Amino acid sequence: MDLLTSPEAWIALATLTTLEIVLGIDNIVFISVLADRLPADERPKARQLGLLLAMLTRILLLFSISLIMRLTEPLFEVFEHSVSGKDLILIVGGLFLLTKSTREIHSKMEGGGDEERSGGKAVTFGGVLIQIAILDMVFSLDSVITAVGMADDLVVMVTAVTLAVGVMM
């Protein structure tokens, strides 16, 4: 799909960018919570580095999952249906998204509070960045699975992630 001349590519790019922004809001909240543990002068730098880490994590996940999605050769059969690597990624990804959304709904309905507090312990810039990187991996999965399920072109997916992080900065 040629990004510059294909209306489908532009629609996919606009849709994915919007979804990446919406799905990235939880990531921004946690980055802010973690960065707020730092001294005031280090917080903006931690937030920006956190968002850059999120973008890099998503792009690496996109490349990895896109490679796996090309695995269309049947691995095994279940009830006379061939199952490929692509099928496994879509099934596992769909189950992950269902689980995550169900937990989010339960959390909202039960009024879950903030468990993320430092408890008075001293934190370091590096320690906060490590926590941000780990959270980025977890929170990036939903947006990457959504992107891979919606678009066929890796360039469109990477562009959408980059634009979304640019907007969030």
Per-residue pLDDT of the chain (169 residues; tens, 9 = 90+): 566 788 888 998 999 899 888 888 878 888 888 888 899 999 999 999 988 888 898 889 888 877 877 778 899 999 999 998 878 877 887 787 788 778 878 877 887 544 444 444 567 888 888 888 877 777 777 777 777 777 778 888 889 889 988 898 8
Domain limits of the chain? 7-111+124-168
Is 0.75 topped by the overall pTM?
no
Residue showing tokens 């959390």: 107
